[in-house]
Structure 1
Amino acid sequence: MKAYEQKQLLARIDREGATVGADIPERIDVQGEPIDLQSFVFEIKRRDTVPAGERERVQQAKKNLRRERLQRRQRLENEWAEMTWAEGEELVEAIIGLDRALNALESLGPTNIEAEADAKEAADKKRWMNFLKKALGREGSGPRT
């Protein structure tokens, strides 16, 4: 494969809408172990929420999928000269499929918008207080009484 072809494939992976219309692979090797990825994702997505017993399994699956995605991307970044265009295309399709599966798994469970807003507000207040302490030269001092 040529350098410009490798750049095209990497750009395809990084494109914001890359997963739109992409299929989750039916079966994929993750960390050397074959996984029926499509059925796993559909089984988990079928439920409204992830049961407590399944959460750890889903978290581990997401971790393994991220690791596999990173390894495949690094292969495309580092070993592109030894690949054919078809091999690069196949690798990109697999990466996009992994992204699609990760997106589906990340969107699981109810989102608590109020809790997220409260956490953001608390973080904003903390940053503001740290800024004021630095600006007023009171970085090391605790609360004043």
Structure 2
Amino acid sequence: MKEFERKQLLERVNREGATIGVDIPDRIDVQGEEVELRDFVFEIKRRDTVPEGEKDRVEQAKKNLRRERLQRLQQIEDNEVSYEEGQRLVESIVGIDRALNALEQLRPANLEQESQLQEAQDRKRWMNFLKQALGREKSSRSSRGGR
């Protein structure tokens, strides 16, 4: 592959917004094992949070996807493939990035619970503050009015 073609492929991988409009691949070979990537991502994403029992599985999948992405990118960077193969690798890398983005957006279930607890505590503190502020205001009015 020519140098300008290699740079063009690398620019496409690293371009801001490269994953916009890109589908997650149905299947992908990750670390020598075929993975039903789209089904996996949508199964996890459907829950909106990562259940405690699935956390390790999701973290391992993200780790494997990152490793696979790096290996594919390295093949292009080292100019080990033809331009056509480089194009296929770029498509797969962008698909991996899309899957990683979807998985990174998930929140662990315990973070959601912590967030809800924090909101409840904030509301309680706010209400206590308002009660105190309004209570003091009432007592100072009555003391002024009695003078």
Task: Tell me the TM-score normalised to structure 2 length.
Answer: 0.72
The structure with more radius of gyration: 2
**Cα RMSD between the aligned structures?**
1.5
State the partner residue of 1:38: 38
Q: 1:88 aligns with which of 86, 89, 108?
A: 86
Paired amino acid for 2:35: I
Residue ranges of structure 2 left out of the alignment (5+ in a row): 119-147
Residue by residue over 1:81-109, the C-alpha shift from the partner in whole angstroms, topping out at 9 and shown as x without a partner, is x5322111000000000000000000002
Query: SS of the counterpart of 2:54?
Result: helix
Structure-to-structure mapping, 1:114-129, within 5 angstroms: none
2-side partners of 1:88 and 1:51: how far apart?
A: 37
Aligned residues, how many? 111
Cα drift, residue 50 of structure 1: 1.0
Residue by residue over 1:20-76, the C-alpha shift from the partner in whole angstroms, topping out at 9 and shown as x without a partner, is 001111000000000000000000000021110000100000000000000110111
**Percentage of pairs with the same residue:** 66
State the partner residue of 1:53: 53
Structure-to-structure mapping, 1:130-145, within 5 angstroms: none
Residue ranges of structure 1 left out of the alignment (5+ in a row): 116-145
2-side partners of 1:51 and 1:60: how far apart?
A: 14
State the partner residue of 2:145: none
Q: 1:104 aligns with which of 94, 99, 102?
A: 102
2-side partners of 1:49 and 1:85: how far apart?
A: 40
State the partner residue of 1:10: 10
2-side partners of 1:24 and 1:91: how far apart?
A: 14
2-side partners of 1:23 and 1:49: how far apart?
A: 21
Runs of 4+ in 1 over 4 A off after TM superposition: none
Paired amino acid for 1:17: G
2-side partners of 1:100 and 1:46: how far apart?
A: 16
Structure with the largest fraction of helix: 2
Task: Tell me the TM-score normalised to structure 1 length.
Answer: 0.73
